[in-house]
């Protein structure tokens, strides 16, 4: 993000091109990966902990098949679901790696996502939680900075959830098991990795839904424009 403006209500450049490109590419790839992943899950809609899992083993979660409107393709086809999933996965992984490295190089992480000491005090965190609960969105120059809850969410997604879903996906691949056998041990077995993969995927969906809700409540036209063109109108201070 650029420096704060001299006055509110003005148009500023908020998001860099690299951030905007990765944001929309990531949204498309996550849609393909999630819907095709549900199609793959439909082949055996049960989850286990440990190394093994089959029809007669005790599962910790058993679901009905997901309906066609939320899977890729729309009809059950394990082969096509795997095709879509494996086509999108490497693009997703390398795009994340590139974004991380680029964000380090242009100081986006240190400038916009790093926590300041005063932000981590219980009083400050509780104040941000109350503002979010009351839908009191920041105005003026404060609107151009991420608050502590936003930073925690973005850091958790970019540096924890997304790498976790990639590594657990690799753990389920027999080919990667031969190349990196330590991955299986790291996650406690392939079935444990599958369960973690499933949980993390739905956690990302939950984040996405909350993210969309916050965009709508904060002013969708202004927020979406800033992520497409980078131009953002700074909200005026409250009376």
CB 191 within 8 A of CB 51: yes
Instruction: Transcribe 54-120 into DSSP letters.
Output: -TTS--SEE-PPPPGGGSSSSS--HHHHHHHHHHHHHHHHHHHHHHHHHHHHTTHIIIIISPPGGGG
pLDDT of residue 1: 47
Length of the chain: 239
Contact call for residues 173 and 34 (beta carbons, < 8 A)? no
Digits of tens for pLDDT over the chain (239 positions)?
A: 443 444 446 888 888 888 889 899 999 999 999 999 999 999 999 999 988 877 778 999 999 999 999 999 999 999 999 999 999 999 999 999 998 898 888 888 888 888 888 888 999 899 989 988 888 887 777 777 888 998 999 999 999 999 999 999 999 987 777 778 888 889 999 999 999 999 999 999 999 999 999 888 888 888 888 888 888 888 876 55
The model scores a pTM over 0.75:
yes
Q: Tell me if 76 sits within 8 A of 68, measured CB to CB.
A: yes
Cα 21 to chain centroid distance, Å, stands at 15
Measured CA to CA, the distance from residue 71 to residue 38 in angstroms comes to 6
Element (H, E) at 13: strand 11-13
C-alpha dihedral (211, 216, 222, 225), degrees to nearest 10:
60
Tell me the domain boundaries of the chain: 86-239
117 burial (CB, 10 Å; 0-12 / 13-18 / 19+) is: exposed
Calculate the alpha carbon distances from 81 to 54, 145, 173 in Å: 20, 40, 15
Cβ-in-10-Å burial (0-12, 13-18, 19+) of 195 comes to buried
């Amino acid at each position: 993000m650029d420096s704060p403006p001299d006055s509110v209500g003005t148009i500023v450049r908020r998001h860099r091109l690299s951030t905007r490109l990765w944001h929309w590419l990531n949204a498309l790839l996550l849609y393909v990966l999630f819907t095709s992943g549900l199609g793959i899950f439909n082949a055996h809609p049960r989850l286990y902990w440990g190394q093994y899992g089959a029809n007669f083993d005790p599962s910790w979660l058993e679901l009905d098949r997901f309906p066609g409107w939320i899977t890729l393709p729309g009809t059950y086809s394990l082969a096509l679901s795997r095709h879509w999933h494996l086509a999108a996965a490497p693009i997703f992984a390398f795009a994340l790696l590139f974004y991380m490295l680029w964000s380090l190089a242009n100081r986006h992480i240190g400038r916009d996502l790093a926590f300041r000491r005063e932000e981590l005090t219980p009083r400050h965190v509780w104040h941000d939680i109350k503002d979010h609960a009351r839908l009191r969105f920041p105005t003026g120059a404060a609107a151009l900075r991420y608050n502590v809850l936003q930073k925690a969410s973005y850091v958790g997604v970019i540096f924890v959830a997304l790498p976790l879903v990639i590594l657990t996906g690799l753990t389920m691949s027999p080919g990667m098991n031969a190349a990196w056998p330590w991955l299986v041990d790291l996650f406690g077995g392939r079935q444990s990795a599958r369960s973690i993969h499933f949980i993390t995927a739905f956690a990302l969906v939950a984040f996405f839904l909350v993210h969309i809700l916050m965009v709508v409540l904060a002013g969708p036209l202004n927020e979406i424009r800033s992520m497409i063109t980078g131009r953002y109108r700074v909200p005026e201070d409250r009376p």
